[in-house]
Amino acid sequence: MPEVPASSGQNKTFERIVQVIALAVILAAPALICVHRGVVADPDIWWHLRVGEWILQHHAVPRVAIFSAPLAGTPWLAYSWLFELVVVKLFYRLGLVGILAYTAGMIVAITAALYHLVRRLQGDFTLGVLFTFASLFSLLPIYTPRPWHFSILFFVLELDILMHVRKTGRLRELAWLPLIFALWANIHIEYIYGLFVLGLALVESVVARRSAVATIKVRVVWMVCALLASLLATLANPFGWRIYGVVYNLVTQGGGLRQVSEMQALPFRGLPDYCALLLTLAAAGALAWTRRFRLFESGLLLFAAVLSFRSLRDVWLVAVVAAAILASTITGRDRNRAPSPRFGATLATIAAALMVVAGFRVMKVNNALLNEQVANVMPVRAVEAIRTNGYAGPLYNDFTWGGYLIWALRMPVIIDGRTNLYGNERMDRSIATWSAQPDWASDPELKSAGLIIGPATAPLTQLLRMDSHYKLVYEDKLAAVFVAQRGH
């Protein structure tokens, strides 16, 4: 048996070390981009914080509308209650740095999970890294502190399990699905996407039993069990089956799609949008190149593309699905198929997390800096003026600032980011009034308001300046505050 040169073993060791270092950098890069951007002034994180605080104070989960003046007591389920507990505790401990740490930490976890999914499908290290990074780059517009990061993570984990089980027939991993869905249903409403994917896998198993169109190694009975167990697991939440009523309301309401920027179609104004499009086209082309109809992958790509190009907040769906399809269909180069070192991915993930922690220090990210960023987009100084002078409500506000006012002003608002609570009619009415449409003065909620706060450049603000029924009591470059003059 010929001897293996010592230099050959040293070269392999060196290559594996380089591979771990390169992987650590790739895993850390998206999170470091997030830290550099420092996005904490999200319009919705504030009402999430306030709900989390309410849960801690009352040791219960809200089942009716709170913090809303016109809809107080209306049925409303805090379906993201577990996320809200997480972020409010981080905020109590670390301030705004904690909110940014949540986002960065979740991005590291998503990146590591996606890389694991891709590498189990693709032996080429270079292609695995490329597909992972391209997918995460497409998600740049949604690197904000929202519960949808948990949806992305759980979806990746679910897809990883299904792709592996379908390929190998090893059913043990299916046991993780009910646990994933039990957590998912308590954190974010998009667990329904995961159930759809499970249903699609079940359809594929039924078709595979009757024809040669689909070939998988999972019997129908096991997919039925996985779907039923996961469906039952979603009921392990404070609201039981009523959580599906929230799903129905969100699906049937169109107001958010018209008015909320994150729920509108991809604008294609930046490279991430075009990267998502390129991934989609590449995945479709890869499926076509195989010259074999893949029921699960084709249905999954169609589902993801429809939702992602319909709504910016769901762009992660097509990015993840496309990366998985490309990894499973494209054959890499043999010389790049060296096996990863044992525990290499774990070491790389730990190193990536440490790099992100170091990034906070190197970039000098602190609460003072983040508070300044918030003050540039939220009416921080206007709220201080209202508190100092003791101006009383009822309050009239615009949609974008509603969530922040719930947290900072501690006063019931007219409207905020909970689109499923307010519905199409109230959202449309608010937009029309702040846009100074001809019937703006007839808005009953504006007429009954004692305090109005809104953007200094809003059309309604310009009209209120000239209306003797309202007195301008504070203004800066960002916000204007009016008090109603009841004597007029």
- pLDDT at res. 6: 52
Q: What's the CA gap between 155 and 151, in Å, rounded?
A: 6
pLDDT of residue 272 exceeding 90, the answer is: yes
What is the residue type of 94? L
User: Could you tell me which residue, 249 or 131, shows the higher pLDDT?
Assistant: 131
Structure tokens at 131: 């597909």
- 8 A C-beta contact, residue 119 and residue 113: no
Query: Is 341 strand, coil or helix?
Result: coil
Domain membership of residue 217 (yes or no) is: yes
pLDDT of residue 323 exceeding 70, the answer is: yes
Q: Among the residues of 339-454, which ranges form H helices?
A: 344-362, 367-377, 380-389, 402-408, 419-434, 444-447
Q: Output the average pLDDT for the chain.
A: 89
Q: What's the CA gap between 276 and 377, in Å, rounded?
A: 28
Summarised one tens digit per residue, pLDDT across range 449-472 is: 999 999 999 999 999 999 989 999
Summarised one tens digit per residue, pLDDT across range 408-429 is: 999 999 999 888 888 888 888 9
- pLDDT at res. 293: 83
Beta bridge partners of 481: 453, 474
- 8 A C-beta contact, residue 30 and residue 111: yes
Domain membership of residue 95 (yes or no) is: yes
Q: Are 12 and 132 part of one and the same domain?
A: yes
- Which has the closest alpha carbon to 151: 105, 186, 202, 112? 186
Q: What's the CA gap between 227 and 222, in Å, rounded?
A: 9
Query: Is 453 strand, coil or helix?
Result: strand
Q: Are 239 and 132 part of one and the same domain?
A: yes
pLDDT of residue 5 exceeding 60, the answer is: no
**Mean pLDDT for the stretch of residues 95-111:** 95
> Pick from 303, 327, 362: which residue ends a domain?
362
- Which has the closest alpha carbon to 481: 244, 470, 374, 199? 470
- pLDDT at res. 126: 87
Res. 200 pLDDT band, cuts 50 70 90: very high
Percent of the chain with pLDDT over 70: 92
Domain assignment of residue 400, given as a range: 378-484
Structure tokens at 451: 């305090």
Element (H, E) at 126: helix 125-138
Domain membership of residue 60 (yes or no) is: no
Domain membership of residue 63 (yes or no) is: no
Q: What's the CA gap between 371 and 256, in Å, rounded?
A: 28
Q: How many CB atoms lie within 10 A of CB 333?
A: 11
Domain membership of residue 303 (yes or no) is: yes
Domain membership of residue 115 (yes or no) is: yes
User: For residue 314, what is the DSSP state?
Assistant: G
- pLDDT at res. 475: 94
- 8 A C-beta contact, residue 160 and residue 117: yes
CA distances to 58, 119, 285 from 172, rounded to whole Å, are 40, 19, 33
Q: Are 410 and 297 part of one and the same domain?
A: no
Q: What's the CA gap between 38 and 50, in Å, rounded?
A: 21
Domain count across the chain: 2
User: Could you tell me which residue, 230 or 425, shows the higher pLDDT?
Assistant: 230
Domain membership of residue 255 (yes or no) is: yes
Q: What's the CA gap between 402 and 361, in Å, rounded?
A: 32
- 8 A C-beta contact, residue 204 and residue 293: no
Summarised one tens digit per residue, pLDDT across range 7-60 is: 555 666 777 788 888 888 988 999 999 998 888 888 999 999 999 999 999 999
Q: Are 345 and 386 part of one and the same domain?
A: no
pLDDT of residue 339 exceeding 60, the answer is: no
Q: Are 160 and 113 part of one and the same domain?
A: yes
Q: What's the CA gap between 413 and 394, in Å, rounded?
A: 8
Q: What's the CA gap between 309 and 455, in Å, rounded?
A: 30
Alpha-carbon dihedral sign for residues 45, 51, 55, 56: positive
Q: What's the CA gap between 270 and 266, in Å, rounded?
A: 10
Q: Are 431 and 352 part of one and the same domain?
A: no
Summarised one tens digit per residue, pLDDT across range 45-90 is: 999 999 999 999 999 999 999 999 999 989 999 999 999 999 999 9
**Residue position matching structure tokens 């070192």:** 341
Q: Are 275 and 409 part of one and the same domain?
A: no
- 8 A C-beta contact, residue 470 and residue 437: no
Q: What's the CA gap between 330 and 118, in Å, rounded?
A: 11
Domain membership of residue 368 (yes or no) is: no
**Residue position matching structure tokens 């517009």:** 141
CA distances to 77, 87, 237, 352 from 81, rounded to whole Å, are 9, 10, 10, 29
Q: Are 352 and 399 part of one and the same domain?
A: no
User: Could you tell me which residue, 15 or 203, shows the higher pLDDT?
Assistant: 203
Residue 70, preceding peptide bond in cis (omega within 30° of 0): no
Percent of the chain with pLDDT over 90: 68
Structure tokens at 413: 């608002």
Q: What's the CA gap between 410 and 314, in Å, rounded?
A: 31
> Pick from 362, 390, 423: which residue ends a domain?
362
pLDDT of residue 169 exceeding 70, the answer is: yes
**Mean pLDDT for the stretch of residues 231-247:** 93
Q: Are 353 and 469 part of one and the same domain?
A: no
> Pick from 301, 332, 362: which residue ends a domain?
362
Q: Are 33 and 129 part of one and the same domain?
A: yes
**Mean pLDDT for the stretch of residues 473-488:** 88
Q: Are 340 and 403 part of one and the same domain?
A: no
Q: How many CB atoms lie within 10 A of CB 269?
A: 9
Res. 338 pLDDT band, cuts 50 70 90: low
Q: What's the CA gap between 49 and 300, in Å, rounded?
A: 34
**Mean pLDDT for the stretch of residues 145-161:** 96
pLDDT of residue 1 exceeding 60, the answer is: no
Rounded to 5°, the CA angle 364-370-371 comes to 135
The upper half-sphere exposure of residue 69, i.e. CA atoms within 13 Å in the direction of its Cβ, equals 22
Summarised one tens digit per residue, pLDDT across range 349-378 is: 899 999 999 999 999 999 999 999 999 999
**Mean pLDDT for the stretch of residues 100-124:** 93
φ, ψ of residue 253 in degrees (nearest 5):
-90, 130
Q: Are 274 and 199 part of one and the same domain?
A: yes
- pLDDT at res. 212: 63
**Residue position matching structure tokens 């809809």:** 71
